A and B are shown apart, each in its own frame.
Chain A
Amino acid sequence: MAIDAGLLEQADQTGRALLRLYRFLPSCLSLGRNEPARKRYDRDAIARLGIDVVRRPTGGRAVWHEHEVTYAVAGPITAFGVDSGRGAACCAPTYRAIHRRLAAALRTLGVDATLAPDRPPPPSTTLHRLNSCFATPVGGEVLVAGRKLIGSAQLRHGQAFLQHGSILLDGSQDVIRAVSCRPSAASGETTLSAVLGRPVTFDEVVDAIVRTWGEAVTSTVLHRPPPSSTALFLDPAWTWRR
């Protein structure tokens, strides 16, 4: 999280767009920036299961990061040929532009990935109560046969944005249900392995994204986040602030 937050700072300061592909080790539960986590999740159950928890700087709901490719894109608000402007109301064009690129990469693997319509019907009260990021697709998200394959969230800061998300390789989001205080319905995700009927590796998805991204992608040394952001994401007062 600290590295992603550092990428956002870097994008805001330099105007450069940055792509990062990574994975979590150990597996981890991430919470959305403003999720009411203290009443939504059972901290005793989380401790009992030995689950690492981090609160993201971006919005959205909980994600269980286990079998996935995690991506982060930080860039100026004019990146990807989209002048999405500053302030509220402007995230959707960038959200869609990044998802179009990711969907194109997945199609090279044989996945029939499409983007959800911009204005889906508003979720019902029941759906609002679902805790997982993958519970309900919103406009511009990547779907396969109507099920969500990539869960993403965004933060806009100054003249830049950070969008990061999970491309599911395998497994499920059932951990979220297991640590939720209230029973919730099954999540609506799918995975690349389920779609293609074979194991899909981290490396082949990363290769597909790098191959199709559009601009030159070069390996870089690991970006070192400022110590202040590392401290923030390690602080339980941030993780459990709501």
Chain B
Amino acid sequence: MSKTPSDLRYTEEHEYVKETDDKSVVQVGITDYAQGELGDVVYVDLPKLGATFGRMDVFGTIEAVKAVSELYAPLAGTVTAVNPALEGDPALVNRDPYGEGWMIKLRVKNPKELDQLLGSEEYKKHIGE
């Protein structure tokens, strides 16, 4: 059984959104379920600071074992931070997806989009847990 913290919001594509101390900025990464299904993450290709994305735009790619998959922006916004630790240690995504394995921080363009994300119970249902 994977971890799906109740205070986070989720996409069907397995990204999570976590609030930060700055109410207008959220932390984005992939879920514990996703990292478990992917296996050993070997590379994460992330955007540059200041990049802007619409909701569900591709913001990067993740490679695990043999597959490269796209990462989708759960919300429209501007990248305010990129996790530098993933360059040297992409397996942080496996070890601590909701903590040290975070990917980007987004300044949210439209907070109402948060309502379109899944809650933890909905996400659990989506992944069959």
Binding site for B on A (CB under 8 A): 32-34, 57-60, 85-92, 95, 122-123, 138-139, 152-158
Contact = CB atoms under 8 A, between A and B. Distances in A.
Given A33-B63, A89-B30, A92-B37, A156 B68 contact: yes
- Per DSSP, chain A at the interface is loop
A89 B15 CA distance: 10
A126 to B, nearest CB: 15
Contacts of A122: 40
A242 to B, nearest CB: 9
Contact of A88 (B30, B40, B43, B65): B30
A88 B14 contact: yes
29 contacts: A33-B63, A33-B68, A34-B43, A34-B68, A58-B68, A85-B13, A87-B11, A87-B13, A87-B14, A87-B15, A88-B14, A88-B37, A88-B69, A88-B70, A89-B33, A89-B34, A89-B35, A89-B38, A91-B67, A91-B69, A95-B67, A138-B39, A139-B39, A152-B66, A153-B68, A154-B68, A155-B67, A156-B68, A158-B70
For this complex, into which size category does the number of interface residues on chain B fall? 20 to 34
B71 interface: yes
Nearest to A161: B67
Nearest to B31: A89
Interface of B: 11-15, 30-31, 33-40, 42-43, 45, 62-72
Q: Please name the 5 residue pairs, one residue from A and one from B, whose CB atoms are nearest each other, closest first.
A: A87-B13, A91-B67, A89-B37, A89-B34, A34-B43
Given A85-B12, A88-B14, A88-B30, A59 B38 contact: no
A97 B68 CA distance: 17
A23 B34 CA distance: 34
A156 B67 contact: yes
B37 to A, nearest CB: 4
